[in-house]
Amino acid sequence: MCGIVGYCGDEQAAPILLRGLERLEYRGYDSAGLCVETDGKLVTIKASGKLKNLAALTNDGKAINGVCGIGHTRWATHGIPTDTNAHPHLSDGERIAVVHNGIIENFRELRAFLENRGVTFRSDTDTEAAAQLIDYYYDGNLIGAVQKAVSQLEGSYALGIICRDFPDTLIAVKKSSPLIVAHTGGGSAGYASFLASDVTAILKYTRDMTYLEDGDMAVLTRRGIKFYDAYGQQIEKTVTRIDWDADAAQKGGYAHFMLKEIYEQPRVIRDTISSRINGMTVDLSDAGITPDYFDSFDEIKILACGTAYYAGVAGKYWLEQLARIPTEVIVASEFRYADPIIGKRTLAVILSQSGETADSHEALREAKRLGAKSLGIINVRGSAITRECDNTLYINAGPEIAVASTKAYTALLAGLYLLAAAAGQKRGAISPERLSAIIGELESLPDKLEYSLKTCAEAAQYAASQYFNHSSVFYIGRNLDYAAALEAAHKLKEISYIHAETYAGGELKHGTISLIEPGTLIVAPAAYEPLTAKLRSNIDEVKARGAEILCVTQEHMAENLKSVSDYMITIPDCDATISPFLTAVPLQLFAYYAALMRGENIDQPRNLAKVVTVE
């Protein structure tokens, strides 16, 4: 969600902070602000709304002098989006300024404590309590004051801190919210230290990043960074090299990041799959998964949120069909509070694009506390979840900037399919002939995705032109088509704001069919051939009540469904188990063009954040 950038170096800080915040706009925000130390004062400028408002107030940062500062894009949790509630927040005497991602759960108690001691608060936020508390404990020892203050904070936080008494110093400290620091020792970037909530903010300046762990504190100056643990002892930290280029986070000529990322899917799937197929074997040794790995558990719990959860629904079908492993998909935010029954023979599979999703991270910790083994299927290397999982299968999607996930979704599907195939192979649940067919389908999948993008784009755009003005849409499917429909409806509602719901086709008669009336749009992925006849019966039911049908099916199945479809999009013929990859393409494009025709902000939909780092 919110974005943090900090800079201390040889150049003017404000323009660099603004450029970093621009790189974080994709995360979602409703206000922004900067604080720069200037001649012994903390100059703070904040603006609600888009970052361009802040840029206008500061003449693109040129109006603020100073070489050390912090910046923030805020997504409101406590207090409505206003200039006052925007970050950075200053202490009562304007000696301390703080930017914060996360939620301080005991801020009311801290605020009451401080107000009773004469401290005046300006905002409605939880963050201001952190700034005021640090100042309360400050006696000239900034590090000590920060340590005392954070020891009293409950909840999650990534804090960037600046003090007017230390004009060349930033402090970073975190718990359950991502924070990265980096240093450049000369060269084109000069001598400088950076902090950020996401590598994209500072990747222009360096590829060498250090990820802070919970309880870590980093003290940044232009000459370097010192690290301390929760007890104040100086420690050494590992530097991680980022292997993708900053240009990967640019639009590359596409109108929106979402469209670019849809078209990147063939390359992403090729990168995820190709190195993991060795002849007639699925090889996951890069994730530490050897053949005997599958002897260590009897059941799988897939823990995920949002789009990753819907990928997990498909994964459940694959793991049970191909590997015969009992699998349950659980919403990560519910898992911790459900008193789950798991143990040492359970494998917890954590799905996350960012590897920083707070609910998924906490679900992982709970699963490990109960004794489960853990496997992350993650996109971002070095992220919080990867550092705590026993094993990690990276999906190699590269940076995904649009809030609505597309390429990371299909890459998560690929990771799950590879896991199911490898498990089925080891457990003897897949015959050699079937395994050969599956590997052949995987190897041809990138080409089929490229073909789909060429042949489906115009059809999806036309379908969107016919239906973008609907206020409510129902998606139906069975088995893997149901899994595909869940994610497709999620995409439509995320970016177009059209109400969209998904139902298993057989559930229509259990109440939902009462909502069908003439003109109701039903979107029906119908590519899972074993149950196409069943789904056609469900389509007949709603068609008889006046619904309009948009059907997505394989080319060789189209004739059978043509008579019940008002509009049809075909995908290349494929093995039924592969179909969710291919139905995703036209349904992503349908959502994209529907949002475009409604004039919505496709890459930054309202109220949503790319990385949800609070519960």
Instruction: Say how far apart CA 563 and CA 370 lie, in whole Å.
Output: 53
pLDDT tens for each residue of 300-309: 999 999 999 9
The shares of helix, strand and coil residues in the chain, as percent rounded to the nearest 5, are 40, 25, 35
Give residue 203's pLDDT band: very low, low, confident or very high (50, 70, 90): confident
Output the pTM of the full model.
Answer: 0.77
| Mean pLDDT (whole number) for 50-54 | 91
Q: What is the model's pLDDT at position 357?
A: 87
Question: With 60 as the cut, is the pLDDT of residue 178 above it?
Answer: yes
Q: Residues near 290 by Cβ (< 8 Å), separated by ≥ 6? A: none
| Mean pLDDT (whole number) for 373-401 | 91
Q: Name the CA dihedral angle for 530, 536, 542, 543, rounded to a multiple of 10 degrees.
A: 160
Q: Which of 2, 8, 305, 574 is catalytic?
A: 2
454 is annotated as an active-site residue: no
- List of E strands, 14-133: 31-38, 41-48, 68-74, 89-90, 96-104
What CATH architecture applies to the domain 247-430? 3-Layer(aba) Sandwich (3.40)
Domain range list for the chain: 3-242, 247-430, 452-603
Instruction: Say how far apart CA 526 and CA 274 lie, in whole Å.
Output: 28
Give residue 59's pLDDT band: very low, low, confident or very high (50, 70, 90): very high
Question: In this structure, which topology does domain 452-603 adopt according to CATH?
Answer: Rossmann fold (3.40.50)
Upper half-sphere CA count for residue 31 (Cβ side, 13 Å): 21
How many Å is the Cα radius of gyration of the chain?
25
Q: What is the model's pLDDT at position 605?
A: 84
| Mean pLDDT (whole number) for 393-403 | 89
Question: With 70 as the cut, is the pLDDT of residue 239 above it?
Answer: yes
Instruction: Say how far apart CA 424 and CA 325 lie, in whole Å.
Output: 9
Q: Is there a contact between 153 and 175 (Cβ–Cβ < 8 Å)?
A: yes
Q: Residues near 250 by Cβ (< 8 Å), separated by ≥ 6? A: none
The mean-pLDDT minimum among 186-195, 235-244, 330-339, 348-357 falls in 186-195
The encoded tokens of residue 170 equal 């930033």
Helix and strand numbers (H, E) in the chain are 17, 27
610 is annotated as an active-site residue: yes
Question: With 90 as the cut, is the pLDDT of residue 512 above it?
Answer: no
Q: Is there a contact between 572 and 468 (Cβ–Cβ < 8 Å)?
A: no
Q: Is there a contact between 127 and 31 (Cβ–Cβ < 8 Å)?
A: no
pLDDT tens for each residue of 330-372: 999 999 889 899 989 999 999 999 888 889 999 999 999 999 9
Question: With 90 as the cut, is the pLDDT of residue 241 above it?
Answer: no
Higher-scoring residue by pLDDT: 546, 347: 347
Instruction: Say how far apart CA 235 and CA 420 lie, in whole Å.
Output: 41
Give residue 236's pLDDT band: very low, low, confident or very high (50, 70, 90): very high
Give residue 29's pLDDT band: very low, low, confident or very high (50, 70, 90): confident
DSSP assignment letter at 230: T
pLDDT tens for each residue of 262-321: 999 999 999 999 889 988 889 999 999 998 999 999 999 999 999 999 999 999 999 999
Crossing angle of helices 306-322 and 407-427, rounded to 10°: 20
Q: Which of 426, 491, 543, 610 is catalytic?
A: 610
Instruction: Say how far apart CA 553 and CA 382 lie, in whole Å.
Output: 39
Instruction: Say how far apart CA 420 and CA 415 lie, in whole Å.
Output: 9
Q: State which amino acid sits at residue 286.
A: D
Burial 369-401 (b: 16+ CB within 10 A, else e): eeebbbbbbbbbbbbbbbebbebbbbbbbbbbb
Number of neighbouring beta carbons within 10 Å of residue 465? 13
Beta partners for residue 96, in sequence order: 163
Among residues 411, 492, 491, the alpha carbon closest in space to that of 449 is found at 411
Instruction: Say how far apart CA 135 and CA 121 lie, in whole Å.
Output: 13
Handedness of CA 55, 58, 59, 64 (dihedral sign): negative
Domains 3-242 and 247-430 share a fold: no
The superfamily in CATH containing domain 3-242 is Aminohydrolase, N-terminal nucleophile (Ntn) domain (3.60.20.10)
Give residue 247's pLDDT band: very low, low, confident or very high (50, 70, 90): low
Handedness of CA 341, 347, 352, 355 (dihedral sign): positive
Unique residue bearing structure tokens 């079937």: 434
pLDDT tens for each residue of 8-25: 999 999 999 999 998 888
Question: With 90 as the cut, is the pLDDT of residue 231 above it?
Answer: no
pLDDT tens for each residue of 73-127: 987 777 788 889 999 999 999 999 999 998 899 999 999 999 999 999 999 999 9
